[in-house]
Amino acid sequence: MIILAVKIRSKPNQIENTARLLGSFPAKANQEPGCLQYELFRGAKDPQLFYFFEKWEDQAALDKHNTQGYLKEFHSRFEELLDCPNEVLFLS
């Protein structure tokens, strides 16, 4: 099993656009083969922060997830939406 957390920091003027886009991901990801859990959380004290908590059956499932169109769209909008690169933490 692959477990990871992804920390995302929105630009201050893009919080709602970022929230809208990221908010659509869990319903899509949870339908993907090999997805065991995919949740989005917001920073309790910092509205610019978003966190994904993900569990994948194996590396192949995660690799397939990373090719999805909605993630490609998000990646193409990094410069527009985000204050800094995502931080990906692999957990055990």
Helix axes 15-23, 69-76, angle to 10 degrees: 170
Mean pLDDT, the chain, integer: 97
Residue 43 in tokens: 């920073």
Closest by CA position to 16, among listed 42, 39, 52: 42
Q: Rounded to whole angstroms, what are the CA distances from 91 to 6, 31, 69, 72?
A: 11, 22, 25, 24
The pLDDT value given to residue 72: 95
pLDDT in tens, 58-85: 999 999 999 999 999 999 999 999 999 9
